[in-house]
Amino acid sequence: MSVNSIYKLLDKLEMMILKGVPIPFSPFVLVNHEKLIDILDKIRASIPGEIQEAHGILRKSEEIQEESQKRAEMLLARAKSEAERILSESELLKAVQSEADKIRKEVITEAEAIRGRATEEAEEIKRNMIGEAIKIREGADAYAENVLSTLDSSLTEMHTIVRNGQQHMAQVKEESIAAMTSIKESCQPMEAQKEQPKVLSYKIKK
């Protein structure tokens, strides 16, 4: 059929609708559905092959478009899921990084605190050692001074003893010399008497 036949059938369809029995208080009308279906079948049969082919192509295109849409939606959903996974991993990585930073800061803070305490303890030990060294040195100085003082006293006493000994020896020497001189002087008259004859006399001790 030609296009004119299609238009005629459309006009007939329009007249059927216009002559339909209107339903009160509504925009609807009653028509003979058998005649309506018959006209629609004739219109469908009157469509040229090119239009039917174009319609088939259009339907195929719609199917392809629908399939592409579904595929695109599937890819989009997959991409969204992958993005969410990556985002989740990124959030997890951020959380891990944040926790690592927190731990690193805590370690640095603890290390600084330990170093501070160690420095304070070292300073305290140093001060104690210096104080102890000062006490030891003062004690050593006092001991040395005491020893030297005792030694000085001992040396002074020994010097006094030696000096007294020397004086005693000198006195003894002088006394010895005096005794020897006295003996020598007493021996000189006896030698003179030896030169003269003597009469021996004896005294009897009572």
Which residue in 24, 2, 27, 29 sits closest to 13, CA to CA? 29
pLDDT along the chain (206 residues), means of 10: 74 86 87 87 77 72 84 87 82 84 89 88 86 80 74 76 84 83 73 54 48
How many distinct helices (H) and strands (E) make up the chain?
3, 2
pLDDT score recorded for residue 52 = 61
Query: Which residues make Cβ contacts (< 8 Å) with residue 25, sequence separation at least 6?
Result: none
Task: Write the DSSP string, 70-110.
Answer: HHHHHHHHHHHHHHHHHHHHHHHHHHHHHHHHHHHHHHHHH
Which residue is listed with tokens 């459309």? 10
pLDDT score recorded for residue 202 = 46
pLDDT score recorded for residue 56 = 72
153-158: long-range contacts, CB 8 A cutoff, minimum separation 24: none
This prediction has a pTM of: 0.34
pLDDT score recorded for residue 14 = 87
pLDDT score recorded for residue 5 = 79
Integer Cα distance of 55 and 50 in angstroms:
8
pLDDT score recorded for residue 200 = 47
pLDDT score recorded for residue 54 = 65
39 class by beta-carbon count within 10 Å (0-12 exposed, 13-18 middle, 19+ buried):
middle
